[in-house]
């Protein structure tokens, strides 16, 4: 088990990069630019989204005089950019319809036999009362075959991508033809439901809330990789890709990182360890808190859980164990492979460690709530008096979450001055986070002013990193 005393950690700001900050800005002063994570969004209901989409459909119908179903196809195929559709229509209507899969360059002719239409699917003359339907491509089938085709596709979840039955024909079937042909109420309802979901997915300014059992749709003014927060269920996510928020790492990079972490060829070589030996007395140590400043219960040695180095060394220059050092002696192919794996494991271990620390610190938050409730019940203050403890734990989680996502960013960065600056800021942020975690775990004895000052430092370190490296 880990055990701590009440000493505070001290860090020196005298580094090679201090001149950079002192010359251009003061990292401890409020940032001049707005919050890099600020992203205004609207939380819409299903009815509000339908109204919004119908207004776009009506606008296009009025402008170029097409049916609502044709308008929906045009908008769906062109990411709901009304002005772009109008511009393309004015330039060349035929080209627009062909590109939107509403028209073909050379429509086929309908074949008849003795003035009787023979359906190519059921291969039989079609009775007059059954009817036939032909799309703009010229492919013609009896309505019964169309109905079977539509019903089978709808059961498979196909809606907006429902296309012609002909081989290699990708012409899309307008909504009005589908609804006029399918007569089963449950399938008609499914088709409209699936189509509505596809319309939302295809609109760059709309995004389904990924929260469990949440039916809200998030709408923004821009499609950016920023944090969107659903006001209905308070779920936060990246608006651009819909996955967990990942600043400062961009969507493409985090996708590569998650894929790499899930690859058995990499992770099978990594054994996630929750226990280590004390570097001084080799006694068995278990990490039971989020803070990486460890103290051996047996020999009282203070060390870093990540690099296993003397904790005092982390305060002499700056928090340096987050930086990866390459081995230049890697001439052979096997040596290069080992070095590549070593580099990956370095970043993966820190990524995974902060993920685990977030879970452990959530337990710390629950304990703080229990202690506050106990103090309130024994008339040792009100909830307002102790609110700063909850604020500090919330801020710690926010900072550590950002720090966790700096490791995929650093892993894919090229070596050079930019990466050196990034690692400097990453190290600074990590140092302040560990200091804040240390103080929060000793909230009973930590001075309130000292704790609030540490909160301010940690948040400004985080804001500085996002301003410098979180580019949209």
pLDDT one-digit tens code per residue, 65-95: 889 999 999 999 999 999 999 999 999 999 9
What's the rounded Cα separation, in Å, for the pair 431 and 116?
Answer: 83
- Supply the CATH classification number for the domain 261-470: 1.20.120.1750
* Pairwise pLDDT comparison (382 vs 172), residue with the higher score: 172
- 303 forms beta bridges with 294, 310
Cβ neighbours for 300, distance < 8 A, ≥ 6 positions apart: none
Q: Please give the DSSP secondary-structure letter assigned to residue 92.
A: -
174-186 pLDDT tens trace: 999 999 899 899 9
What's the rounded Cα separation, in Å, for the pair 317 and 224?
Answer: 37
291 is catalytic: yes
Domain ranges within the chain, ordered by starting residue: 43-100, 118-203, 261-470
Question: Among the listed ranges 15-19, 318-322, 337-341, which one has the minimum average pLDDT value?
Answer: 15-19
Catalytic residue among 119, 230, 291, 304: 291
Which of these CATH numbers, 1.10.760.10, 2.40.10.220, 3.30.40.10, 3.40.50.300, describes 118-203? 3.30.40.10
- What CA dihedral angle connects 34, 37, 40 and 44, to 10 degrees? -170
Reduce the DSSP state of residue 419 to 3 states and report it. Answer: helix
Strand 236-238 to 227-229 pairing:
antiparallel
CB atoms within 10 A of CB 267: 15
Q: For the whole prediction, is pTM greater than 0.75?
A: no
């Amino acid at each position: 088990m880990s055990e701590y005393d009440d000493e505070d950690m001290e860090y020196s700001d005298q580094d090679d990069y201090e001149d950079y900050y002192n010359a251009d800005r003061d990292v401890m002063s409020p940032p001049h630019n707005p919050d890099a994570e600020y992203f205004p969004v609207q939380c819409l209901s299903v009815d509000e989204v339908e109204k919004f989409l119908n207004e776009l459909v009506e606008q296009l119908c009025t402008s170029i005089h097409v049916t609502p179903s044709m308008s929906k196809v045009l908008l769906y195929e062109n990411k709901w950019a009304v002005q772009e559709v109008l511009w393309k229509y004015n330039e060349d209507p035929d080209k627009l319809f062909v590109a939107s899969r509403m028209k073909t360059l050379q429509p086929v002719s309908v074949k008849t036999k003795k003035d009787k239409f023979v359906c190519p699917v059921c291969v039989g003359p079609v009775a007059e009362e059954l009817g036939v339907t032909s799309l703009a491509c010229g492919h013609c089938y009896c309505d019964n075959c169309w109905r079977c085709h539509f019903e089978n596709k709808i059961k498979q979840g196909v809606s907006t991508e429902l296309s012609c039955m002909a081989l290699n024909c990708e012409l899309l079937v307008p909504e009005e033809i589908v609804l006029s042909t399918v007569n089963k109420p449950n399938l008609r309802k499914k088709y409209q439901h699936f189509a509505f979901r596809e319309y939302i997915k295809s609109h760059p300014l709309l995004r389904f809330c990924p929260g469990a059992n949440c039916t809200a749709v998030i709408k923004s003014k821009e499609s950016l990789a920023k944090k969107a927060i659903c006001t209905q269920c308070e779920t936060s996510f990246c608006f651009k890709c819909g996955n967990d928020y990942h600043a400062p790492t961009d969507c493409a990079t985090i996708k590569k990182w998650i894929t790499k972490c899930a690859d058995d060829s990499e992770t099978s070589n990594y054994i996630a360890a929750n226990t280590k030996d004390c570097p001084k007395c080799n006694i068995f140590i278990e990490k039971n808190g989020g803070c990486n400043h460890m103290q051996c219960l047996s020999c009282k040695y203070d060390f870093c859980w990540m690099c296993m180095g003397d904790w005092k060394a982390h305060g002499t220059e700056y928090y340096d164990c987050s930086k990866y050092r390459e081995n230049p002696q890697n001439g052979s192919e096997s040596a290069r492979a080992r070095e590549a794996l070593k580099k990956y494991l370095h970043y993966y271990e820190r990524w995974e460690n902060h993920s685990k620390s977030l879970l452990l610190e959530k337990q710390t938050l629950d304990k703080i709530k229990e202690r506050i409730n106990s103090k309130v019940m024994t008339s040792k203050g009100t909830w307002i008096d102790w609110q700063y403890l909850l604020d500090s734990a919330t801020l710690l989680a926010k900072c550590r979450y950002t720090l966790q996502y700096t490791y995929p960013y650093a892993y894919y960065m090229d070596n050079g001055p930019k990466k050196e600056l990034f690692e400097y800021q990453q190290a600074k942020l990590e140092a302040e986070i560990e200091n804040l975690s240390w103080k929060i775990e000793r909230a009973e004895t930590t001075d309130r002013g000292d704790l609030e000052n540490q909160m301010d430092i940690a948040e400004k370190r985080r804001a500085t990193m996002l301003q410098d490296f979180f580019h949209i």
